[in-house]
Amino acid sequence: MAALAGLVVVLALAALAFGRATPGELRDQGPARAVRPPAVSQPLWPDLPTSPPPAASATDTTQEPPQPVPDVTVPGRDITAVDVRTVLAKDPDVDQEERQALGSCAGCEVRAPEFRDLTGDGQPELITVVTTPGRAVLHVYALAEDRLLPVLRVRVQPAFNASTIGTDLWLIEPTSVDARTTSHYAWDGKRLTLNERRDEGVIPLPSTGPDAGRPATAVPDPGPAPRPAPYAPKQAAPEAAVPSPRGARPSSVPSAPSVPGASVAPSVPAVLPEAKR
């Protein structure tokens, strides 16, 4: 009998040992899920003719590499030493309206040049903007030996913003109060070309004025509700003494002696006087 009990204990311990998960142990999680192929496009009306892809324009196929700005040399091949107004005045791609900004023009400006590497050769390019009333034009010039190549000229909104990420140029133009257009330009070996342009929504920033957080059609605030007055229990008014119609006769029952510290109740006459008729 003792041997049978010991065998039962050994089997129970073995079952607990095999049923407990060991760290790093491989366990069977059941059959694997069936692998589904990726979804593919399935046209609804496959018999209808499709539109052909847009053909490349003649300007895309026959566009020549940019030519150096005539009569402009870079001393010591230091692009930061050139005069930006001289470069713009010599550039034949600068139109007449832009040239007015080089002189005395109300509301015109030639922004100070910025220098960023946009070609990936380790040398910075010259970036400037010519603004006139109602328009702005961005120019980018690259250094080729001791000459300058106009690698980008693009018209933008006057309130635009620009930034660089690596060698890529990003232009951000506000098109409305809650929308903007983002343009991405990258180097293709000859010039900066447009890679992507997309319209994006803009989340308006919360107002920080005194009316921040209030809706446009807010109902006037009635103000804090009046606080109730503190509760005060009502005090009973003293009862008026009612005169007796005739003098009360002395009671024949003597009153109890007073005990110090105890409240004494008023004595009640043993015999009520009879009302006089």
Q: Are 162 and 138 in contact (CB under 8 A)?
A: yes
The angle subtended at Cα 80 by Cα 74 and Cα 82, nearest 5°, is 45
In this predicted structure, what is the pLDDT of residue 219?
Answer: 45
In this predicted structure, what is the pLDDT of residue 57?
Answer: 43
Find, among 101, 117, 121, the residue nearest to 109 by Cα.
Answer: 101
Tell me, yes or no, whether 51 lies in a domain: no
Q: Are 255 and 264 in contact (CB under 8 A)?
A: no
Least confident range of 27-31, 176-180, 234-238, 268-272: 268-272
DSSP annotation of 158: T
* pLDDT tens-digit readout, 169-183: 999 999 888 889 999
The DSSP string of 36-92 is PPPP----S-TTSPPPPPPPPPHHHHHPPPPPPPTT---GGG-GGGS-HHHHHHH-T
Higher-pLDDT residue of 254 and 29 is 29
Kindly give, in sequence order, each residue whose CB lies less than 8 Å from that of residue 144, ignoring residues fewer than 6 positions away: 68
Reduced to 3 states, what is the DSSP secondary structure of residue 2? helix
Tell me, yes or no, whether 7 lies in a domain: no
Residue 40 corresponds to which tokens in the numbers above? 């593919």
What φ, ψ does residue 155 adopt, rounded to 5°? -85, 135
Most confident of 21-35, 145-159, 202-216, 251-265: 145-159
Residue 90: count other Cβ atoms within 10 Å of its Cβ. 14
Tell me, yes or no, whether 153 lies in a domain: yes
Residue 213 CA to residue 179 CA, distance in Å, equals 23
Side chain identity at residue 68, one-letter code: P
Higher-pLDDT residue of 167 and 41 is 167
What φ, ψ does residue 135 adopt, rounded to 5°? -155, 165
Higher-pLDDT residue of 29 and 76 is 76
The whole-model pTM stands at 0.54
Q: E strands, 177-266, where?
A: 179-187, 192-201
For residue 78, what are the domain limits? Answer: 65-201
In this predicted structure, what is the pLDDT of residue 237?
Answer: 54
Tell me, yes or no, whether 208 lies in a domain: no
Strand order in the sheet with 179-187: 161-165, 168-176, 179-187, 192-201
* pLDDT tens-digit readout, 2-31: 666 666 666 766 655 555 555 555 667 778
Kindly give, in sequence order, each residue whose CB lies less than 8 Å from that of residue 97, ignoring residues fewer than 6 positions away: 132, 135
Tell me, yes or no, whether 147 lies in a domain: yes
Tell me, yes or no, whether 123 lies in a domain: yes
Using CA of residue 179, residue 197, residue 56, residue 121, what is the dihedral sign? positive
Least confident range of 43-47, 114-118, 125-129, 139-143: 43-47
Return the CA Rg of the chain: 50
Quick one: average pLDDT of 131-150?
Answer: 95
218: confidence class by pLDDT, cuts 50, 70, 90: very low
Q: Are 154 and 197 in contact (CB under 8 A)?
A: no
Using CA of residue 131, residue 137, residue 142, residue 144, what is the dihedral sign? negative
Tell me, yes or no, whether 244 lies in a domain: no
Q: What domain count does the chain have?
A: 1
Tell me, yes or no, whether 158 lies in a domain: yes
64: confidence class by pLDDT, cuts 50, 70, 90: confident
* pLDDT tens-digit readout, 82-114: 999 999 999 999 999 999 999 888 889 999 999
